[in-house]
Structure 1
Amino acid sequence: MVIEKTKTQKSQEKWSREILDEGFCIVPSILLRAQKRIGLNPSQLILLIQLLDYWWEVDNKPFPSKKDLGNRVGLGARQVQRYLTDLENAGLIKREARVVAGKGRTTNKYDLSGLVKKLNELAPEFKQVKELKKAVERQGGDDRLRL
């Protein structure tokens, strides 16, 4: 009897348990494939991915400091601020003030629903291209078709 490995087991083979024990985040492939279409430069994309790493539950918006984001990617706080403003102007994130009792205003929360909406808008088109590519491959292939 052959027992198929779970996705967790396959991931552990690929990355190792030690690495996965430190945590991981989900980055939808469409975000990476549509980077140019969305108009993201490399720094904007990496900041989005960093925000995704802080976003563990749908109802708990991430709230890293600009300093922490900058330290992770080697950018100064002003550069981080500028790129976050770009992402907000593009409708991909929304900054929300966060107030902590006894401390007052603290780091912003980041609403990523704009990013989710944008990727959902692009998903049908990417699916259609993927299906077209499969159909062409079944008929003999064309390696010029790329996503």
Structure 2
Amino acid sequence: MVVHAEQMAEDAPLVSLDANALEAAHVLADRRLPALVVTDVDGSPHSILPASQVVRFLVPGYVQDDPSLARVMSESMADRAGEKLGRKRVRDVLPVERSELAAVNHDDTIIEVAAIMARLRCPLVAVMRDGRLIGVITASRLLELSLPNR
């Protein structure tokens, strides 16, 4: 039996480009999501915001370049990073270079979905039908459906 993307799709919260970045981070954390679909002003999918990108925004560039510096960061510096996120919009934490939207058609197969995820290195894809978002597929959902039973 062939499984199509619309059969794998799950509901997921959406965030707009102009939503508060800290609130979006709370949605990611509270729901333990790997990513969120970010919508444009007209409500159409614009991009995917991986949780790892939010984490990256929280860590100063010089610490990313030299992780040993993380040992000397105080907890108050981490708190300030959270405050910094609260002053930003979702559009501010997206990667500077906009990549291709990780989206699949509603009738794509598991392997087609996996190919998009792998090529774009994205933990979540938007499932589209007639230009509308009908759900998302996470990498963990894809693995659940494609791995053989134990």
**Structure 1 length normalisation: TM-score?**
0.25
Bigger fraction of residues in helix = 1
Structure exhibiting the larger radius of gyration computed from Cα positions: 1
**Structure 2 length normalisation: TM-score?**
0.25
